[in-house]
């Protein structure tokens, strides 16, 4: 019998938790739940005797991992694993996995939903704008980017994509225009939807040069990570172009300045909401649970990221 901890500051739906627990009941493992915790010490105490950990955006650093001597596996129920210190995990012999694709539809729907919300001025009854016949650039054509592209095409948008890691034919077969250079994406597209991970290559990479190149009526949509934006560039462009808007599921560090100076040019979700649907919770939670069982029972390391 292994001990499993589900540690989610932002909880899964009740149904997802119940079904995840069933997976571990069936495998004969013991589950505990730590939700909505506010202090790191709560997580440190909760990991003391666990073999496996399911998390979301919960930060797993050296202090947490060193407090968990029995820990063998951490599964990030979601896509981005920038919240886990992979180096320390590897040093401690801990396998880290994500659950690719499991919450993508939820994130994609939010990206489109936020565009409509800001285009319609927060539904305040004043005249807004439509997405139809506008150009949309998908920056990174992974699980989420592909769904955003499909929904946008259904709404009559012209969709372009840049992703050096995805073959041109895959993008073109979806009816999306492939672009070789990231600069061209920003030059061509009125809307850019970001789907790049936060890593050493991408942090701060969305800069003044790219943003300034966007056409009139530019909107940058971020359901990825706040760290990929160069915030000084963002402030500069909001200041110099009142046609430029920034929509994000992750409020930037400079949120207060944006809110006080650039009314109508931004929308930030009050709490990160992209993956927060019953369906995404269930898909990602169940995938995480099944991956843990397969790893602990059979040594299956599919979806390992370290």
Q: Binding residues for ligand 3PG, per CB under 6 A? A: 10, 56-57, 78-80, 103, 272, 274-276
- Tell the smallest beta-carbon distance from residue 174 to ligand 3PG (Å): 22
| Cβ proximity to ligand 3PG, 157 vs 198, nearer residue | 198
| Cβ proximity to ligand 3PG, 78 vs 137, nearer residue | 78
CB 289, CB 20: distance < 8 Å: yes
- Tell the smallest beta-carbon distance from residue 25 to ligand 3PG (Å): 24
Cα separation, 169 vs 189, in Å, equals 21
Q: Closest residue to ligand 3PG, Cβ-based? A: 78
- Tell the smallest beta-carbon distance from residue 78 to ligand 3PG (Å): 3
- Tell the smallest beta-carbon distance from residue 298 to ligand 3PG (Å): 25
- Tell the smallest beta-carbon distance from residue 119 to ligand 3PG (Å): 23
| Cβ proximity to ligand 3PG, 54 vs 161, nearer residue | 54
| Cβ proximity to ligand 3PG, 106 vs 214, nearer residue | 106
| Cβ proximity to ligand 3PG, 31 vs 224, nearer residue | 224
| Cβ proximity to ligand 3PG, 81 vs 160, nearer residue | 81
DSSP notation for the chain: --EEEEEESSPPPHHHHHHHHHHHHHHT-EEEEEES--SHHHHHHHTTT-SEEEESS--B-HHHHHT-TT--EEEESSS--TTB-HHHHHHTT-EEEE-TTTTHHHHHHHHHHHHHHHHTGGGSSS-----TT-EEEEES-SHHHHHHHHHHHHTT-EEEEE-TTS-HHHHHHTTPEE-S-HHHHHHH-SEEEE----STTTTT-B-HHHHHTSPSS-EEEESS-GGGB-HHHHHHHHHH-TT-EEEESS--TTHHHHHHH-TTSEEE-SS--TT-SHHHHHHHHHHHHHHHHHHHHH---TTB--
| Cβ proximity to ligand 3PG, 134 vs 195, nearer residue | 195
Enter the tokens of residue 26.
């069936």
Q: Is 145 exposed, middle or buried (0-12, 13-18, 19+ CB in 10 A)?
A: buried
- Tell the smallest beta-carbon distance from residue 69 to ligand 3PG (Å): 26
- Tell the smallest beta-carbon distance from residue 161 to ligand 3PG (Å): 20
- Tell the smallest beta-carbon distance from residue 274 to ligand 3PG (Å): 5
Pairing, β 266-268 against β 30-35: unpaired
| Cβ proximity to ligand 3PG, 9 vs 174, nearer residue | 9
């Amino acid at each position: 019998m292994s001990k499993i901890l589900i540690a989610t500051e932002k909880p899964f739906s009740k149904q997802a938790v119940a079904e995840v627990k069933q997976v571990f009941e069936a495998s004969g493992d013991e589950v505990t739940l730590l939700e909505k915790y506010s202090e790191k010490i709560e997580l440190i105490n909760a990991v003391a005797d666990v073999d496996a950990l399911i998390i979301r955006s919960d930060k797993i650093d050296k202090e947490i991992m060193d407090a968990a001597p029995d820990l063998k596996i951490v599964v990030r129920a979601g896509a981005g694993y920038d919240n886990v210190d992979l180096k320390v995990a590897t040093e401690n012999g801990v396998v880290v996995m994500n659950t690719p694709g499991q919450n993508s539809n939820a994130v994609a729907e939010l990206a489109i939903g936020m565009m409509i919300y800001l285009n319609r001025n927060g539904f305040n009854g004043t005249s807004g704008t439509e997405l139809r016949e506008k150009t949309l650039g998908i920056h990174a054509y992974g699980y989420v980017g592909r769904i955003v592209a499909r929904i946008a095409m259904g709404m009559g948008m012209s969709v372009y994509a840049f992703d050096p890691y995805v073959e041109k034919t895959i993008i073109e077969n979806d009816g999306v225009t492939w672009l070789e250079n990231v600069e061209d994406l920003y030059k061509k597209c009125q809307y850019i939807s970001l789907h790049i991970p936060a890593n050493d290559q991408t942090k701060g990479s969305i800069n003044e040069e790219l943003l300034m190149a966007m056409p009139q009526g530019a909107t940058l949509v971020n359901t990825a990570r706040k760290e990929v934006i160069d915030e000084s560039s963002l402030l500069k462009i909001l200041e110099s172009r009142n046609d430029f808007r920034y929509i994000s599921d992750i409020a930037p560090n400079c949120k207060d300045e944006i809110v006080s100076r650039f009314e109508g040019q931004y929308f930030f979700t009050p709490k990160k909401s992209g993956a927060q649907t019953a369906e995404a919770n269930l898909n990602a939670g169940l995938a995480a649970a099944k991956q843990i069982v397969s790893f602990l029972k059979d040594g299956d390391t599919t979806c390992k990221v370290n």
